[in-house]
Structure 1
Amino acid sequence: MSTMVFVNFPVKDVAAATDFYEKLGFKKNEEFSTEQTSSMVWDDNFWIMLLDYSFYQLFIKDRTIADTTTQSGALIAFSLNSAEEVKNFGKIAEENGGTVYKVDMGIPEEQMYGLEVLDLDGNALEPTWMQI
């Protein structure tokens, strides 16, 4: 059996975050979604769970939710099928309120291409393509 990865992101507005991720190509799984959370599916193995702050807080006990607009909590990298798909993902994110930038790794685009994509709450995704 393949391992499934579930990334949990705290979000201020579940509906707005859901709309953002749907525009990026994620599908909302209604069966695992409530008013407090949206279960966003990329494929059979990669899901992002969007949790409102009060629900997210239950899982971290007394720790503070990071302000991801000024602090980094994690960089979630995942693969896409081409550099063009990565660029399109970034374009759609920007068109819908996300922030996108590229880190120059000194690797030719024909070999590897990736972007840093911040969602509406500053949670970081790294769509990446590598020639393997």
Structure 2
Amino acid sequence: MSTHVFVNLPVKNLKKSTAFYESLGFRQNKEFSNGKASAMVWDDNFWIMLLTHDFYNKILKDKFIADVKKVSGALISFSMDSPEAVKKFAEAAKENGGNYYKVDMGIPEDIMCGYEVEDLDGNILEPSWMEM
């Protein structure tokens, strides 16, 4: 059995966020997208579901959407093929309205490379590569 991961993220502007994630290399699956949600596919097993605040709130019951520009709700990590791919992903984010930073873990980049990449709303993705 294959496991699929669907990460749900609240976004303020669905159209801009969809374009941002496409600039990072995700592709939109239009079959599972509408005016309230945009299904962004990285590969067969990893999708990010961008949800409008109204739609996301329907799922939360008695909770509120975190202002992830001020507090952290989650760090979404995923592997990439090389340190160069990680850096390219981070640069694409910055070029398209997001941002990135690097945390020095004291591990050489030829063993492990990762960046903290912020999307337009402040959600943090962690593309990474490790020598296995």
Instruction: Tell me if both proteins adopt one fold, taking TM over 0.5 as the criterion.
Output: yes
Q: Percent identity of the aligned residues?
A: 61
Alignment partner of 1:72: what SS?
Answer: coil
2:88 aligned partner: 88
* Cα RMSD for the two superposed structures: 0.4
- TM-score w.r.t. structure 1 length? 0.99
Alignment partner of 1:9: what SS?
Answer: strand
Alignment partner of 2:17: what SS?
Answer: helix
Cα displacement string for residues 34-83 of structure 1 (whole angstroms, at most 9, x for unaligned residues): 10110000000000000000000011112010001111000000000000
1:98 aligned partner: 98
1:3 and 1:109 mapped to 2: Cα distance?
A: 29
Number of residue pairs matched by the alignment: 132
2:27 and 2:15 mapped to 1: Cα distance?
A: 13
2:4 and 2:24 mapped to 1: Cα distance?
A: 20
Alignment partner of 2:106: what SS?
Answer: coil
- Counterpart mapping for 1:1-132 below 5 A: 1-132=1-132
1:73 and 1:16 mapped to 2: Cα distance?
A: 21
- Structure 1: 5+ residue stretches without partners: none
